[in-house]
Structure 1
Amino acid sequence: MTGLIFDCDGVLADTERHGHLPAFNETFEHFGLPVRWSEDDYAEKLRIGGGKERMASLFADPEFVRAAGIPEDEAARKDLLAQWHRTKTAAFKRLVSEGRIPPRPGISRIVLAALGEGWTVAVASTSAEESVRAVLENAVGKEVADRIPRFAGDVVPAKKPDPAIYRLTVSQLSLDPAETLVVEDSRNGLLAATAAGLPCLVTVNGYTRDEDFTEAVLVVSELGDPGRRPVEVLANRSKATPGDYITLEDLRSCLQAQPVPDEGGNT
């Protein structure tokens, strides 16, 4: 059976810029923490997989620890981090419910087409499960979202680029890696997918466009939709021949065993 696994943040919606970043900053303000992340700051934090892990990186700054009155006890820090993360997740879900984070083009179209063809569609993310469900329901509707299994948050001990989340998804759904395509948006996600033995299509966003996607079978600006401007193909190492938007046939072609050279002669 053919499998299609989506990452959440940056893939289902442009959640990082319009959702997670403002939710983090709202949380910092709520707790009176002496920190606000700019877009440039957050671009650096995105190199760290997982929201709790990004906030935990603040503990590495002695000045922040002193100014915020962070306890030295590790158990107390863990409890504090859990409070912050619950508040941040609630803020993020509110932004989704307010329509502040629209789905990326092509998501609903491709998901419905894949389900219609009998593909197994899933979401694998290092974000909190509540956040992932909110984004998925906003992208495809609750009825369709209920048909899509989600693997998210702390279901694995290590976050991307570790391949654990993808290995778990493949195992739990009894998928054949050779017949399963991952859609990612970042190098960390790409490395997680390929380390799990899965071919990966990348849809870039503003934070990730300049990252190295050498291992991806296809790199595009978005999945696209009829009536929108044509998608930009940034690299193609598959047998796919994309038109104005990515189709299910393009995704099938990404599963071909032998990639073909892109325009630059790379394979």
Structure 2
Amino acid sequence: MAIVAPSSSAVVVSFALVSTKSLYNVPLPPTFASLGNATRSFSSSLLLRCGLKVVLCRRPRSLEILSVSSSSSSSASDLPAALLFDCDGVLVDTEKDGHRISFNESFAEKELCVTWDVELYGELLKIGGGKERMTAYFNETGWPEKAPKAKEERKEFIASLHRRKTELFMALIEKKLLPLRPGVERLIDEALDKGVKVAVCSTSNEKAVSAIVSFLLGPERADKIAIFAGDVVPRKKPDPAIYLLAANTFGVDTSSCVVVEDSAIGLAAAKAAGMKCIITKSSYTAEEDFLNADAVFDCIGDPPKQQFDLAFCTNLLAKQFVS
């Protein structure tokens, strides 16, 4: 059924029965629960006072966000001061067939007899940072025989493994074997065209992140995008340091920033920094808990399957979309 608010800032809400798992569940308001099969008019203040078209899905006692598009434009003063993207899983779904493969190749070159399968790597992703991930794994399972014994030497051993892993990963990116996720170029272009500052904030190695931005987004965009990555901060996600650094460097308030993340640890970092956060689920994070997110989608999306746009990011600053 369709529900239309008869005003210039109309909000159109469409309900349909679905069997898929909810992208983002919230309690079903009594107003909606009592609507039945009729088409009714109501004040747009029940949802958003921001000129959005919102497509929702009706399920017992819950609502599922399927897509959002803007029906009106926002003034420049209302725009986010900065749009901050995580890299892996947000710009590119890199983890399973990119970073994991590169880690395994670096282990094989050193003859360490270590292989991270898909399931294991999914668990290891709960640890932010590749060097930290390897260290935690070896501390838990035992260090390889070929690894040094002294603590400081082990740190260099891990660093050398990570450097080689980064080289292997960059080769995949340079060959464009891992594509950008749908909607990434579109949303970044919308932000840059409106003068919104754009950055990529990642726990991954800075060279790997720079390669993704340069080779997949192109040099013209890359020149306009700031990169905060790797060891540029002492504490990695879920610590908010990387996002606080971006806001401080740009000279903007954290409350005026919108973050696009794909993981629970990234969400925790963004919220701890006092920023709005949109989740675009990736292959490894689809089942994670995103209750604290401001909105959750499968991807950013391109027309005709666009999920959200810059106007939606702008409206998040005025009012949390899901509460």
State if a TM-score over 0.5 links the two structures: yes
Structure 1: 5+ residue stretches without partners: 231-243, 262-266
Contact 1:201 1:254 in 2 (8 A): no
Please state how far the C-alpha of 1:249 moved relative to its aligned partner: 1.1
Match of 1:18 in 2: 97
- Separation in 1 of the partners of 2:291 and 2:247? 23
Answer yes or no: is 1:47 the counterpart of 2:108.
Answer: no
TM-score by length of 1: 0.88
Amino acid at match of 1:252: T
Letter in 2 for 1:31: K
Secondary structure in 1 matching 2:212: helix
Structure 2 matches for 1:154-165, cutoff 5 A?
154-165=231-242
Compare the two structures and name the one with the higher strand fraction: 2
Give the match's secondary structure for 2:317: coil
Q: Distance in 1 between matches of 2:145 and 2:180?
A: 36
Q: Which runs of 5+ in 2 are unaligned?
A: 1-79
- Partner residue, 2:183: 106
In 2, the alpha carbon distance for the partners of 1:247 and 1:5 equals 14
What is the number of residues matched between the two proteins?
244
Answer whether contact 1:105 1:225 (CA < 8 A) is retained. yes
Counterpart CA distance in 2 for 1:32 and 1:260 is: 50
- What do residues 147-201 of structure 1 show as CA deviations (whole Å, max 9, x unaligned)? 1110110011111000111111111111122221000000000000000000100
Contact kept, 8 Å, 1:13 with 1:139, in 2: the verdict is no
Give 1:59 deviation, angstroms.
2.5
Partner of 2:169: 92
Distance in 1, Cα, partners of 2:85 & 2:140: 34
Deviation at 1:248, TM superposition (A): 1.4
Partner of residue 184 from structure 1, selected from 252, 261, 268: 261
* Letter paired with 1:191: A
Q: Which amino acid aligns with 2:213?
A: L
Kindly state the Cα deviation for residue 139 of structure 1 after the two structures are TM-superposed.
3.1
Q: CA shift at 1:260, angstroms?
A: 4.7
Query: Is structure 2 residue 194 aligned with structure 1 residue 132?
Result: no
Partner of residue 3, structure 1: 82
Match for 2:289: what amino acid? D
Q: TM-score, length-normalised on structure 2?
A: 0.73
Indicate yes or no: 2:320 matched with 1:259: yes
Contact 1:124 1:165 in 2 (8 A): yes
CA RMSD of aligned residues (A): 1.3
Matched residue SS, 1:81? helix
Q: CA deviation at 1:99?
A: 1.4
Match of 1:247 in 2: 309
Which structure shows the higher helix fraction? 1
